[in-house]
Amino acid sequence: MWEKDDPRFYGLNDLLQYLGAFAFRDPVPAYKHSAAMFLHSRGKIASDQTFPGSPERPPSDQAILDLISKDLAAYL
């Protein structure tokens, strides 16, 4: 996209920056649960569970991750 000077690149870049900032916020080790929630909602993994005892994100994060996933789908 960037090499072809596609103006959509900037929207995609902003979206990926937002996803990263959202997933890696405090407590940072819970990023694994954010990733699992995101991948599970996209049908890429069977469950959003992580290793037992790992930090978790609140269930309310799922709605935000779903919106990001929906927006990301427009670029794929």
Q: What is the pLDDT of residues 11-22, one digit of tens each?
A: 999 999 999 999
Specify if 62 maps to a domain.
yes
What is the average per-residue pLDDT within 19-47? 97
Specify if 2 maps to a domain.
no
Domain that holds residue 50: 8-73
| Count: domains in the chain | 1
**27 SS3 class:** coil
Q: What pTM was estimated for this model as a whole?
A: 0.88
Specify if 23 maps to a domain.
yes
Specify if 1 maps to a domain.
no
Specify if 3 maps to a domain.
no
Of 41, 32, 29, 44, nearest in space to 71 by CA: 41
pLDDT band at 64 (very low <50, low <70, confident <90, very high): very high
